[in-house]
Structure 1
Amino acid sequence: MAIRIVIDSTADVTQEIIEKHDLKMVPLKVNFENESYLDKVELTTSMFFDKLAQAEKSPTTSQPSPGDFVQAFSEVLLEGDQVLGIFLASELSGTYDSARMAKEMIGSDNIRIVDSKSVCLGAFALILEAIELVNQKKGIDEIVDELERVKGSIVAVAGLDTLKYLEKGGRLSKGQAVIGSLLNIKPVIGIKDGAVSVIDKVRGKNKMIKWLDEWIEKNNFDLSNKTVLLFHGQSYDQLKALREVIEEKYRIKNIIEQEVGAVIGTHSGPGVLGIGFLNK
C-alpha cells in the first residue's frame, strides 16, 4: 500500500514536482464578480494577473467543499493507497476543516490530515519534507509525527509591493495596511504558526533584496543543506537578482523558483518576492 500525498493549490507546488511525485492537488476557487475559476485548473497565474489588473472589484477566494475532498480521497483509496493530506493553515482558510470533515465522512483508517500552519512557500517546504519521507519508505504515522515535529521550523517571509490586497481579504487590519502607502514603504511579512504579520518595513522596492540578504545573514541560516524556495508575483527580474545575490554567498544546496498562483496573488497582489525553507 503506497502513500499518496494530497495538497491544495495554495502551496503553489511546481507542476514538475506534482507530476514527478504523483501528488493530487485539490484547487481552491478564485471569484471575479460573477465568474468563478478553479485555481491552477481553469485559471493560470498569467491569466489571473491580467484579470486582476482589469478588475474593478478585488476578487475573492473560496475553499474546496468537503465533497471535493471526499472525491479526491476516495480516488486515492480506490487505487489501494493511503492518503496523506497537507493543507494550508487552518487559521487562514477553512480548507483544512473541509478536508477533516471529508475524512470523517469517509471513515477510513487510511487517511491522515496535516495542518501545515503555513501557506504557499511554507506549505511547499513541508510538502517537500513529506515527499522525502515517503521516498524513504517511512510509515504514514511516522511521517505525520515527523511533519508535526518539524513544521514549527518552517521559515517563510515575503516582501510585498502593497498591503491593500491582504487588507481587502481580511488578513490584515486597515491600520496595518495603511503603512504600505506611506512614503513608499514596502512591508515585509512573515508567516509563522498560521499567523501573517508585518515584521519590517523597507523604503522602496529596490531595497527588498538587500533586506532579504541581510536577514539571512543576521539569522545565521545554514542553507548549504537546504532546498530554498524563491517565489515571485510578476517580478521575476527581482527574483533573479535575489538568486544571484544569495546563491553563491550562502552555498545553497538547491533552489526552486515559482510564481505565486491566483489564490495567493489575490491576497498578495503583484510585485511580491518571497523566500522559504525548512530550518530543521
Structure 2
Amino acid sequence: MRCLPERRLPMAIEYIDGIRLYRTLTAGIRRVVSREEYLNKINVFPVPDSDTGTNMAFTLTTIEEKIASRVQSNIEDMSAVVADAALDGARGNSGAILAQFLVGFAEGIRGHLQIDTRQFARAVQTAKAFAYEALVSPREGTILTVLKEWANSVHHLAQRVNDFAEILATALDRARQALEDTPKQLEVLAQAGVVDAGARGFVDLLEGIQDYIERGVLLAASEPRIRDQEQKGAEPEGEYRYCTECLILGNAINRPELQAHLNELGNSIVIAGTKTKAKVHLHTNDPARAFDTCRAYGTVTGEKVDDMHQQQADAHDARHSIALVVDSTSDLPEEYIDRYRIHQVPVRLSFGDKHYVDKVTLTIDEFWSELRTNPHHPKTSQPTPGDFRRQYQFLATHYDSALSIHLPQKLSGTYQSAQTASASLPEFPIGLVDANTLSVGIGLVVLEAARAIESGASFDETMTRIQRAVKNTHIYVLLDTLEYAVRGGRVPRSKQKITSWLGLYVILTVSPEGALVPAGTLWGRRHRVKRLFRFVRDKIPAGKQVQVGIVHADCRHDGEALQELFAREMGQERTFLSTIGPALGVHAGPGALGVAFHIREDES
C-alpha cells in the first residue's frame, strides 16, 4: 500500500453553505486550469486528440465566470447556478461528464439551505448516478471510476464522521489511488504509460479544494515530467472524425430515447442535463445529422464541431512552432487548408430557426441550394470570443505562438472576438491581423503566412510578410444581382431598381479603410467573364508577379473560364479556383464572381 505523508487537518467543518461551495469550487477550478497543458499531453482515451485539458479548463472557467456575480448563501440556489453554468460551458467528453455530475449534485441537495456530511454524501451518490446515466456505454478506468470511488468513500466516511475536512482529505486519498489504477483497467493507458486525463483532472479539482481547506490559499500544481513515449500517446482510435456538441432547450427532453437515436450516428455519447436543458456530446462523421436529431427534442444552440483528425495531427506531428488561425470566410480550397494545417474557426449562419456551422454542418453546395429555395434569407453571425478562446487554448499546448487572420473590423466583429479571446491568454503570443479584404483575398494573405511559416520564418518575420501581403492584396467582386444585398439590408431597394433599369452590374472592392465600396460597373451581362478579366488585369501593376484566386457563387463554368484567362497570362500554378462561402454569399447571391490578387514584392 502506498504510504502517504502525514497531513495537518484544519479546524472541523460541520456544514457547507452556498458561499463555502463557491469558494472551494473556485479553488479547485483554478488548480485544474493550471494543469491544462499536462492534461492535454496525457490524453489518449477515447481518442488521442490531446484536448482533455483544454476542454476541462474551458468548462470550469465558464463555470467560474458565470457564477462569480451570482453567489448565493443558500446552497440549493448556489448549486443550481453552478449546474446551469456547467451545462452552458461543458466541452468534451470529460467536461460533459463533470457537468452531469454537478447537475446530479444540485438535484441531490434540493430543499436545503446548508448541508451536513451525511446530506453531502447522499448528494454525491446522486451525482455519481447521474454521471453514469449520461453515457450510453460507460467505461471503467476513466473519470467515471474515480468519481465513483471518491463518492463511495465519502458515503462510507459520512456514516461515522461529521467533519468535512477529515472526510474530504481521506476521500481524496482514495481518489488518488483509483487514479493510479486506471492503467490497469484500460490497456490504451498502460501502453502509453499514463493515467486517464479526465480522471487526473478530477483529482486535480479535489486537490485544489483540499489545498484551500487546509491552507486557505491556492497552491501551484507541479507537473510530472512526461516521457517521450507518453508524449507520442496512442494510435488514433475509432473511425469517427468530428467531436460534436450542442445544447438542447426543451420542455420534456427524453434523454434515453435521444441516446438511442444518437447511438446510430457515432460513439462517446454523453448527454448531460435535465428534462429542460441538455448538453449533448458525441463523436460522429455526420455532425449535421446529429444536430438534426437533437432538434426533434427542442431548440438547439451552441453547436460546436472539432476535427479530431486535425487535433491528433497537431498533438503528435507538430511540424512548426507557429499555428495559423483563420475564420471560415477565407474561401480557401480544402487542399490548402489540409496541406498547411490551417485552423479554421467557423462562422455560423441560420435560415429562420435552423442553425448551421459553416462548412461543417452545411456544405457550400447545400448553402447555395438553401439560398435559392428557402423563403428565409439567411443571417450570419461571427464566431464568439469563446469559440476563439477554446481554439487558442488548445493550440497553446502544442505551439509556441499563433497568428490569427480575419475579416476587416469595419465589416465584421470577428476581429474583436479574436482580440477579446487572445487577451485571456497573455502567456501565449497571438498575432492578430485585420486582413483588410474578404473571401479569397483573405485566403491569399493566409497562404503567404503559411508559406512563411513553412520556410522556417520567425514569428516577427512572418508577421512582417503578412502585413506586406495585406497591403498588396486586392479583391474585386462582380455581382450578378443586387437582390440578395437588398434582402440582407445592405442595399436599398431603390438602388437595385435603378441598376436593373440601366442594365448595370456592380463591381465591389474593399477600400484601404476596410469598407466595402463600389469599384466600377459593367454595362450588360454579355461577355461578363472577359470584361471582368480585363477590368482586374488593368489593376495589376506592369511587370509584377502575382498570385490570383478566383471564386464563383454557384457558377462554376464561369469561374473556370475566368481562371483559364488568368492562367494563360500568368501561369496555371499562379491561379486557383474556389467557391464563395456563406459570409459573402448571403449578400452577393448566386452568379457572383470574385478575383483577388496578391502582388509578390519578393519576385520580379
Q: What TM-score results when the alignment is normalised by the length of structure 2? A: 0.44
CA drift at 1:171: 3.9
CA distance in 2, matches of 1:177, 1:152: 32
Judging by fraction of residues, say which structure has more strand: 1
**3-state SS in 1 of match to 2:586:** helix
Q: Which residue of 2 aligns with 1:164?
A: 483
Alpha carbons 1:223, 1:253 under 8 Å: kept: no
Higher RCO, 1 vs 2 (CA within 8 Å, ≥6 residues apart)? 1
Secondary structure of the residue aligned to 2:596 is strand
Instruction: Report the alpha carbon displacement of residue 173 of structure 1 after superposing the two structures with TM.
Output: 4.8
Distance in 2 (CA, whole Å) between partners of 1:223 and 1:35 is 50
Alignment of 1:177-256 (within 5 A): 177-193=496-512, 194-221=514-541, 225-251=545-571, 253-256=573-576
CA distance in 2, matches of 1:226, 1:7: 22
- Secondary structure (helix, strand or coil) at the match of 1:206 reads coil
> Matched residues in 1 for 2:536 and 2:384: separation?
39
1:112 aligns with 431
**CA distances 1:164-200 after superposition (whole Å, capped 9, x unpaired):** 3234334445554444422332111112332111222
Matched, 1:40 2:370: no
Is the CA contact 1:226–1:252 (under 8 Å) kept in the aligned structure 2?
no
2:441 maps to which residue?
122
Change (3 A) 1:222 1:153: same
Residues paired across the two proteins, number:
280
**Per the alignment, do residues 190 and 54 of structure 1 end up closer, same or farther by CA in structure 2, a change over 3 Å counting?**
same
Whole-Å separation in 1 of the counterparts to 2:328 and 2:550: 17
2:455 is equivalent to residue 136 of structure 1: yes
> Are positions 1:65 and 2:380 aligned together?
no
The corresponding residue for 2:585 is 265
Partner of 2:324: helix, strand, or coil? strand
Report if the CA contact (8 A) 1:224-1:250 is conserved.
no
Shift of 1:120: 0.4
User: Which of the pair is proportionally richer in helix?
Assistant: 2
Q: CA-to-partner distance for each residue in 1:130-171, whole Å, 9 max, x for gaps? A: 011111211112222332233122111011111232343344
Task: Identify if the C-alpha distance between structure 1 residues 24 and 206 changes in structure 2 by more than 3 Å, giving closer, same or farther.
Answer: same
Q: Which has the greater radius of gyration?
A: 2
Q: Note the aligned Cα RMSD (angstroms).
A: 2.0
Between 1:52-61 and 1:167-176, the stretch displaced more is 167-176
Q: Structure 1 vs Structure 2: percent identity of aligned residues?
A: 29
Q: Structure 1 residues 136, 170: closer, same or farther in 2, change over 3 A?
A: farther
Q: 1:204 to 1:220 in 2, by over 3 A?
A: same
List per-residue Cα deviations over 1:251-277 (Å, max 9, x = no partner).
465211101112221121110111111
Taking the aligned partners of 1:47 and 1:220, their CA distance within structure 2 comes to: 35
The yes-or-no answer on 1:14 pairing with 2:333 is yes
The unaligned stretches of length 5 or more in structure 1 are none
Aligned equivalent of 2:343? 24
The letter for the 1-side match of 2:380 is T
C-alpha distance in 2, partners of 1:180/1:41? 36
Counterpart contact for 1:89–1:117, Cα < 8 Å: yes
18-27 or 52-61, which deviates more: 52-61
What CA distance in whole angstroms lies between the structure 1 residues aligned with 2:358 and 2:478?
23
The worse-fitting range, judged by mean Cα deviation, of 135-144 and 22-31 is 135-144
TM-score by length of 1: 0.92
Q: Contact conserved, 1:226 with 1:253, CA < 8 A, in 2? A: no
By how many angstroms is 1:69 displaced?
0.2
